[in-house]
Amino acid sequence: MVQALGARMAKQLLKHTPNIAAKPLAIVPFALKAKIIASLLRQMLQQQMDDGELAFLQQRTVAVTVTDLKLAFVVQYDGDWLVTPRMPGQAADVSFSAASQELLLIAASKEDPDTLFFQRRLVIEGDTELGLEVKNLLLQLELDALPLPVRLSVTALAASLMHLQCSAEYQPH
C-alpha cells in the first residue's frame, strides 16, 4: 500500500515538475539564458576549442529544443559561442529535441543518447553527419569541466530523477 502510494506520487512528480519549472524559466530574459548556455559551452568545450576540434561546427547551426520547458535555441560556433532564440519555422543544419529529463540524464552520463534516440525520446533531425559529430562531441564531455555547484546540481538532479523513475515503475502485485 505504501509502495503503491509512493509510486503514484513519483509519477505525479515526474509529470508535473517540468511544468512547474517552465513557469519561472519563461520569465527569465532570453539574453540571460543565452549568456549562461554560452558560458557553460565555453567551460565544457574549452579543450576542444583550444585544440581546433570544433571546425566542423563553423558556419553551421545546431537547434536545441527542451520540449517540456518550452525552451528552444540555436547554437552557432565561430571561435566563440553564439546562442540565439529559435524562431518558429527557423531552419537549422541539425536539431535535437527532448524533454528535460532525458537531457539531464545525458548530461549526467546516466543515459546514452543512442538509446534515447532509438526509444524516440530524443529526436535528431537534419544533417545526419553533423548530428553524429555533435552527439559524439557530447559523449566526450566530462562533468568535471563544469563549475562545482553546477556539477553537483546535475549529479544530484539526475540521481533524484532516476530514483523517481524507479519508484514510478513500481507495480503492486
d(CA 128, CA 132): 6
- For residue 26, is it within any domain? yes
Domain annotation covers residue 95: yes
Instruction: Give Cα 89 distance to the centre of its chain.
Output: 21
Does residue 116 form part of some domain? yes
What is the rounded distance in angstroms from the CA atom of residue 102 to the CA atom of residue 123?
Answer: 11
Q: Average pLDDT of the chain? A: 83
* Residue among 66, 138, 60 at smallest CA distance from 97: 66
Q: What is the CATH number of the domain that holds 120?
A: 3.30.1050.10
Residue closest to 161 by CA, chosen among 18, 3, 8: 18
In a domain, 27, yes or no: yes
Residues 94-126: pLDDT tens digits? 999 999 888 888 888 788 888 888 899 999 999
The domain tally of the chain equals 1
Decide if 173 is inside a domain.
no
CA distance 23 to 141: 29
**Domain assignment present for 149:** yes
Indicate the pLDDT class of residue 28, thresholds 50, 70 and 90: very high
Residue 118: domain span: 2-168
User: Which pLDDT tens digit goes with each residue over 150-163?
Assistant: 777 777 777 776 76
Q: Measure the CA angle with vertex 70, ends 66 and 75; round to 5°.
A: 55
3-class secondary structure, 27: helix
Kindly report the pTM of this predicted structure: 0.81
36 within domain boundaries: yes
pLDDT value for 148: 77
Give the span between the Cα atoms of 43 and 34, in whole angstroms: 14
In a domain, 11, yes or no: yes
Contacts of 81 (CB under 8 A, 6+ apart): 37, 38, 41, 42, 75
